[in-house]
Structure 1
Amino acid sequence: MKLLSWNIQWSRGIDGKVDPRRILRDARNMGDFDVLCLQEVGANFPAPGLAGSAGENQFEDFARLLPDFTPVPVAGVDVLGPDGGRRCFGNMILSRYPVLRVLRHQLPWPFDASVISMPRTLLEVTLDTPLGPIRVMNTHLEYYSALQRKAQVEAIRSYHEETCLRAAHERVKDTRGSPYHAFPHATKTILTGDFNFRPEDAMHARLRDPFRAADGSASPHVPRLHDAWQHLHGNQAHPINVGLYDRKQWPEAFTCDFIFTSEDLLPQIRSFSVDSHTRSSDHQPQLLELQQ
């Protein structure tokens, strides 16, 4: 299983051109991905709302360009445009594997008067993979507000814990094909996206904290989340994945895009790579490979 994650900046490259086809070309050049997780997908946001954009619906573009994949979109921002249509901005997962279940979580958006901000989401899908059911969660946390990021990290931990506890304890199941139909609750999890914090940030450590049972001991049912790069490379610095070429937007290049996996998936991790050559976005894509 190969999963590629990329903040595509609404398909806008360092040259200022918006081109979803170029995004897919560079993604395919990196590897024959089975799951594609995208952040910053836009629809009906023409420039200057999103620089370089003609207002194309990129959710539809990527679905059309990958006809053998199941497209799963989510819009954190969904507002009325001047033309009466909907303007959307959010994330997307496209999967070659069957998508058993989709959950679209609205992340907390607590009041923070000191900064601008936008609504944020966590897109969660359960996939039927050769490694068994795997839950993939794709997100993009708030950039300007540390208060909101902190609340969003806690919500992600809560969603992970809830699903794992359902997997461990759910006993009453419906198999009639109704809306109550019981699909697998996978504990094996991949969490990816643009987290807008750096590796040394306390929020990075918080995502990796163990989960606790009611008596305060480590929960036997909720596997911890681990940074996949750190699992493979220890204290070796994460590859830069933001601002490598865009010095106008980012005077300093840094890392804020990560892929976390649950503890029970660590034995399947085989490789983690970052494409440091593409200039099709202000971020660099990351590829995680899992095997039996």
Structure 2
Amino acid sequence: MMDWDKLRVFHAVADAGSLTHAGDVLHLSQSAVSRQIRSLEEALDTTLFHRHARGLILTEQGELLHDATSSMNRRLETAAARIRDSREEVFGELRVTTTTGFGTLWLVPRLPKLYAQYPELKIDLMLEERVLDLPMREADLAIRMKEPSQADLIRKRLNTVRMRLYAMPDYLERVGTPETLDDLPDHRLISMHNTATQVAAGEVLVQSLMSIGIPSTLTVNNYFGVLQGVLAGLGIGVLPDYVIADFPAIKRVLPDVESAEIPVYLAYPEELRNSKRIVAFRDFVLEELALSAKVLESMGAQL
């Protein structure tokens, strides 16, 4: 039977790549860490690390053991989270991942309401286009613009989004309101750059608009920048419709022009089904989306 302490020390050294750095994390001396690693290698009758001037590198056998200790750590973290969530209070860390656009333009402005309700919640918000691996616990919960394909996830379709064209009233008064697509070359188009990661439906719409031949454009690698360009009166922007719930002054132009529907899903691992943090966050998002939908309906739009 392996010694848990030695495995804990091994995992820290493998992550740090250094006996000294691992010792700092574990509050042990370098010699104590070295003794534990040597003892583990003797017990397994194998070499776990290659030693060189720049630090330590795992051997093939070390990689196998590190995979096992990483899996153990994730399971222990999940067990600890479930134990903490057995209490009635909603508190502790919740790692949420979503796209940069949805996170900055819709989610973050609404978080004060959630924190007011659960002041001891610690949200670690990871805004990126890369889809994080929820079963491997890279995040606890995800809001994505497509249905998750990973296994062992609880998934809920929240709503649908469409990309549409928007501009500020003062810009339209100054330059004119386009009546047809043929009028777009008289305007500056603000959009995501076609090399930036974005939902396929949005990319298709932008490419079709660019093919018209628009002399002046502003391309940005995220929707926050596109929104700022629209608010500054630089031109007509291609934006997701959920943005407009918080910016009622922005006007939609060419209402017949829009992308295909983009589904929005919330997902989390099956093992976190009973997590009170997950439930609280899920219910909060659903309530806020319902409020946004009412605002958009009152503006004559549909989320």
State the TM-score, normalizing by the size of structure 1.
0.20
Name the structure where strand makes up a greater proportion of residues: 1
